[in-house]
Amino acid sequence: MSPGGAHVTVLLEEAVDSLAIKNDGVYMDATFGRGGHSRRILSSLGENGRLVAVDRDPQAILAGEAIGDSRFRLVHRAFGELSEAAAEAGISAVDGILFDVGVSSPQIDDGERGFSFRHDAPLDMRMDTTQGETAAEWLARAEIRDITEVIKNYGEERFAFQIAKKVVAARVEQPIVTTAQFAALVRETVRTREPGQDPATRSFQALRIHINQELRQLEVALPQALDLLKPGGRLVVISFHSLEDRIVKNFMRAQSTADSLPKGLPLRADQLPKPKLRLIGKALRPSTDEVAANPRARSAVMRVAEKL
Give the residue numbers of the binding site.
35-37, 55, 79, 100, 107
Strands 94-100 and 72-76: unpaired
Q: Count of CB atoms within 10 A of residue 282's CB?
A: 9
Residue (of 79, 60, 75) closest to 9 by Cα position: 60
Residue (of 215, 2, 14, 4) closest to 103 by Cα position: 215
Residues annotated within the binding site for S-adenosyl-L-methionine are 35-37, 55, 79, 100, 107
HSE toward the beta carbon, residue 9, CA cutoff 13 A: 21
Torsion of CA 194, 195, 196, 202, to 10 degrees: 10
Asked if residues 85 and 53 have their Cβ atoms less than 8 Å apart, the reply is no
For the chain, give the number of residues.
308
Question: Strands across the sheet with 301-307, in order?
Answer: 72-76, 50-55, 26-29, 94-100, 229-239, 301-307, 277-279
Asked if residues 296 and 1 have their Cβ atoms less than 8 Å apart, the reply is yes
Asked if residues 20 and 43 have their Cβ atoms less than 8 Å apart, the reply is no
Asked if residues 104 and 1 have their Cβ atoms less than 8 Å apart, the reply is no
**Which run of H or of E encompasses 234?**
strand 229-239
